[in-house]
Structure 1
Amino acid sequence: MQITLEPVDLARDLDLLRAWVTHPRSAYWMMQGATRAEVRAEYARIAADPHHDAWLGRVDGRPTFLAETYDPTHSPLAGLPEVRAGDLGMHVLVAPPTGAAVPGLTTAVFGAVMEHCFADPAVQRVVVEPDARNERIRAKNLAAGFVELREVPLPGKTAMLSICTRESWSSSRPETSADHLTPELMDRAQRHLVAKALGELAHERLITPVAEGERWRVEAGPSSYAFAARRHLLDHWVVDPASIERVRDGAPARPDAQELVAELAPALGIPDQLLPTYLEEIASTLAAGAWKLRHRRIPVAELVDAGYQEIESAMTEGHPAFIANNGRIGFSLDDYRAYAPETGRPVRLHWLAARRDLTQLSLAAGGTEAGLYDGELAPEVRDRFAGRLRALGLDADDYLLLPVHPWQWQHKLAITFAPDVARRDLVHLGAGDDDHHPQQSIRTFFNASRPERHYVKTALAIQNMGFVRGLSPAYMAATPAINDWVASVVEADDELRRCGFGVLRELAAIGYTGDAFHRTAGPSPYRKMIAALWRESPVPRTPGGEQLTTMAALLHRDADGDALVTAWIKASPVDAATWVRAYLRAYLRPLVHCLHAYDLAFMPHGENLLLRLRDHVPVGAFMKDIGEEVAVMGDLDLPAGVERIRGEFPDDVKALAIHTDVLDGVLRFVAAILDEDGVLPAEEFWAIARATIEEHAADHPELAVAAASYDLLRPEFRHSCLNRLQLRNTLQMVDLTDQAESLIFAGTLANPVAVQR
Structure 2
Amino acid sequence: HPYHPCFKARTGFSLSDHQHYGPESGNRFRLHWLAVERSCTDLAIPIKEQAFWFDELGHEQAYLLRAAFNRTGANWSRFTAIPVHPWQWQHLRNSELESSLATGQVRHLGPLGDRYRPGQSLRSLFNVSRPGKATLKLPLAVGNTSSIRTLEPHSVPSAPTISRWLANTVASDDRFAEKYRLELMAEYASTLFSGHQSIAGHLGCLWRESINGRLRHGEQALPLNALTAVEDDGSPLIAPWLERYQPRHWLARLLEVVILPVWHLLVAHGIGVEAHAQNTVLIHCDGWPVGIALRDFHDSVEYVESYLAPSTGQPDFGPRNTMYQNAADNRYYRMATPEALRELAMDTLFVYNLSELAGFCEDQFGLCEAHFWKQVRTVLANHRRDHPELEARLYQLGATAPSILSESLMTRKLRGPAAPECHHRIANPLTGNCGQTAAALITPTQSVRA
2:266 aligned with 1:595, yes or no? yes
Cα distance in 2 between the residues matched to 1:491 and 1:679: 39
Q: Does the alignment pair 1:674 with 2:361?
A: yes
Q: What whole-Å deviation, never above 9, does each CA across 1:658-710 have from its counterpart, x for those lacking one?
A: 43222211111111111111342222221211111011111111111112222
Question: TM-score, normalized by length of structure 2?
Answer: 0.87
Match of 1:546 among 191, 196, 219: 219
Number of the residue aligned with 1:721: 408
The 8 Å contact of residues 35 and 106 in structure 2, kept in 1 or not, is answered as yes
3-state SS of paired residue (2:12): coil
Per the alignment, residue 298 of structure 2 pairs with: 627
The 1:406–1:349 alpha-carbon spacing in structure 2 relative to 1, beyond 3 Å, is same
Given the superposition, is the C-alpha separation of residues 428 and 502 from structure 1 closer, same or farther in structure 2, using an over 3 Å criterion? same
Question: Equivalents in 1 of 2:406, 2:417: separation in Å?
Answer: 23
Hey, what's the Cα distance between the residues in 1 that align with 2:341 and 2:34? 42
Counterpart for residue 14 of structure 2: 332
Deviation at residue 733 of structure 1 after TM alignment = 5.4
Which protein shows a greater Rg?
A: 1
Alignment partners' CA distance in 2, 1:585 and 1:527: 41
How far does the alpha carbon of each residue in 1:206-229 deviate from its partner, in whole angstroms, 9 at most, with x for none? Answer: xxxxxxxxxxxxxxxxxxxxxxxx
**13, 36, 56: which one aligns with 1:376:** 56
Alpha-carbon distance between aligned partners in 1 of 2:280 and 2:20, rounded to the nearest angstrom: 25
3-state secondary structure, aligned to 2:282:
strand
User: Residue 385 of structure 1 is aligned with which of 46, 49, 65?
Assistant: 65
Classify 1:391/1:608 alpha carbon distance in 2 versus 1 (closer, same or farther; 3 Å). Answer: same
Q: Which amino acid aligns with 2:277?
A: G
2:39 to 354, 357, 365: 357
Q: Is the 8 A contact 2:305 2:314 kept in 1?
A: no
Give 1:604 deviation, angstroms.
Answer: 0.7
Which secondary structure state, in structure 2, belongs to the residue aligned with residue 351 of structure 1? Answer: strand
Q: Residues 706-745 of structure 1 correspond to what in structure 2 (within 5 A)?
A: 706-727=393-414, 729-732=415-418, 734=420, 742-745=421-424
Q: CA deviation digits over 1:25-80, x for unaligned, max 9? A: xxxxxxxxxxxxxxxxxxxxxxxxxxxxxxxxxxxxxxxxxxxxxxxxxxxxxxxx
- Residue 426 of structure 2: which of 706, 728, 748 is its match? 748
3-state secondary structure, aligned to 2:114: coil
Aligned to 1:342: 24
Which letter does structure 1 place at the counterpart of 2:430?
A: V
Alignment partner of 1:443 is 2:123: yes
Distance 1:433 1:479, change over 3 A: closer
1:328 counterpart SS class: coil
Aligned twin of 2:209:
536
Aligned to 2:282: 611
Would you say the 8 A contact 1:554–1:564 is kept in 2? yes
- Quote the residue 2:241 is aligned against: 568
For the residue of structure 2 that corresponds to 1:539, the secondary structure is helix
> What SS is found at the alignment partner of 1:557?
coil
8 Å CA contact retained: 2:152, 2:201: yes
Distance in 2 between residues matched to 1:368 and 1:582, nearest whole Å: 44
Aligned partners of 1:661, 1:390: CA distance in 2, in Å?
A: 47
Moved more, 448-457 or 474-483: 474-483
Encode CA deviations 1:568-610: one digit per residue, 9 max, x unaligned.
Answer: 323xx31112211221222111111111112211111111111
Secondary structure of residue in 1 paired with 2:298: coil
Cα distance in 1 between the residues matched to 2:47 and 2:248: 44
CA distance in 2, matches of 1:667, 1:730: 27
CA distance in 1, matches of 2:241, 2:115: 29
Matches within 5 A, 1:424-503: 424-498=104-178, 499-503=180-184
Tell me the residue number matched to 2:314.
638
* DSSP 3-state at the match of 2:284: strand
Alpha carbons 2:139, 2:201 under 8 Å: kept: yes
1:660 maps to what in 2? 347
User: Which residue does 2:228 correspond to in 1?
Assistant: 555
The corresponding residue for 1:581 is: 252
Deviations 1:299-333 (A, max 9, x none): xxxxxxxxxxxxxxxxxxxx122222222222221
- Alpha-carbon separation, structure 2, partners of 1:659 and 1:459: 27
Using structure 1 for the length normalisation, give the TM-score.
0.53
Letter in 1 for 2:22: A
Deviations 1:353-400 (A, max 9, x none): 11112211013xx53323421221122222222222222333233221
Deviation at 1:564, TM superposition (A): 2.2
In structure 2, which of residues 387, 393, 409 is the aligned counterpart of residue 700 of structure 1? 387
Cα deviations by residue, 1:62-118 (Å, 9 ceiling, x for unpaired): xxxxxxxxxxxxxxxxxxxxxxxxxxxxxxxxxxxxxxxxxxxxxxxxxxxxxxxxx
2-structure distance, mates of 1:587, 1:732:
32
CA separation of 1:682 and 1:639: change in aligned 2, threshold 3 A:
closer
Q: CA deviation at 1:416?
A: 2.7
- C-alpha separation in 2, matches of 1:391 and 1:720: 50
CA contact 2:272–2:342 (8 Å) conserved in 1: no
Measure the CA separation in 1 of the matches of 2:108 and 2:389: 56
Structure 2 residue aligned with 1:684: 371
Report if aligned partners of 1:472, 1:531 keep a CA contact under 8 Å in 2: no
CA distance in 1, matches of 2:401, 2:247: 26
Q: CA deviation at 1:403?
A: 0.9
Cα pair distance change 1:733/1:503, threshold 3 Å: farther
Contact 2:135 2:209 in 1 (8 A): yes
User: The residue matched to 1:345 in structure 2 has which SS?
Assistant: coil
Is the alpha carbon distance of 1:702 and 1:686 closer, same or farther for their aligned partners in structure 2, counting shifts above 3 Å? same
> Is 1:375–1:453's contact at 8 Å kept on the other side of the alignment?
no
Q: Secondary structure at the match of 1:432?
A: strand
Query: Which residue is 1:508 aligned to?
Result: 189
Amino acid at match of 2:158: A
RMSD across aligned positions (CA): 2.1
Partner of 2:443: none
Counterparts in 2 of 1:367 and 1:701: CA distance versus 1, 3 Å:
farther
The structure whose RCO (Cα within 8 Å, separation 6+) is larger is 2
Alpha-carbon separation, structure 2, partners of 1:328 and 1:440:
12
Q: Distance in 1 between matches of 2:54 and 2:158?
A: 23
Q: How many angstroms apart in 2 are the aligned matches of 1:554 and 1:485?
A: 30
Report how many residues are paired.
416
**Aligned equivalents of 1:353, 1:556: Cα separation in 2:** 42
Deviation at 1:756, TM superposition (A): 5.1
Unaligned runs of 5+ in 1: 1-318, 519-523, 735-741
- Which whole-Å CA distance do the structure 1 matches of 2:367 and 2:340 have between them? 31
Q: Specify the code of the residue in structure 2 equivalent to 1:535.
A: R
Contact 1:455–1:534 under 8 Å retained in 2: yes
In 1, the alpha carbon distance for the partners of 2:32 and 2:248 equals 47
User: How high is the sequence identity, in percent, across the aligned residues?
Assistant: 28
Contact 1:496 1:502 in 2 (8 A): no
The answer (yes or no) to whether the contact 1:350–1:432 under 8 Å persists in 2 is yes
Preserved CA contact (<8 Å) 2:72 2:107: no
1:721 to 1:565, Cα distance in 2 relative to 1, 3 A: farther
Alpha-carbon separation, structure 2, partners of 1:417 and 1:645: 30
Paired residues of 2:27 and 2:117 also in contact (CA < 8 A): yes
Measured after TM superposition, the shift of residue 411 of structure 1 is 2.1
Question: Which residue matches 2:438?
Answer: none
Is the Cα contact below 8 Å between 1:483 and 1:505 reproduced in 2?
yes
